[in-house]
Homo-oligomer: A and B are copies of this chain.
């Protein structure tokens, strides 16, 4: 995304932006929905479910892992992915409180 001067923003703002990136692509939304719905971890089944190349899915999984919202356990030759509950709750709270800062009082425009 171009340059993004992260140093001029607070850690909280940068973290929220990063957590939002987890949901900022429909493929990642789909992956997170699949992982959230199935109690059992889906592994490479994700590739079958999504009309994307294996390399592309793997790339999205890598991004989600970087953010921390999912985790993978290597179980060769497969890898088992699942939601990282801690980060999931962190994201829930972060967005929750972000939305709560707006109290709909009087309109202005």
Q: Which residue numbers of A lie inside 8 Å of B, CB to CB?
A: 1, 4-6, 8-10, 13-14, 16-17, 19-30, 32-33, 35-37, 39-41, 51-52, 71-73, 75, 80-83, 85, 88, 91-92, 95-96, 98-99, 101-109
**Docked-complex contact B99 and A82, CB < 8 angstroms:** no
Contacts of A37 in B (CB 8 A): 101-102
Copies in the complex: 2
Given A41-B108, A108-B39: A9 and B26 interface contact (C-beta under 8 Å):
yes
Contacts of A10 in B (CB 8 A): 26
Which of B96, B102, B109 touches A71 (beta carbons < 8 Å)?
A: B109
**Docked-complex contact B26 and A6, CB < 8 angstroms:** yes
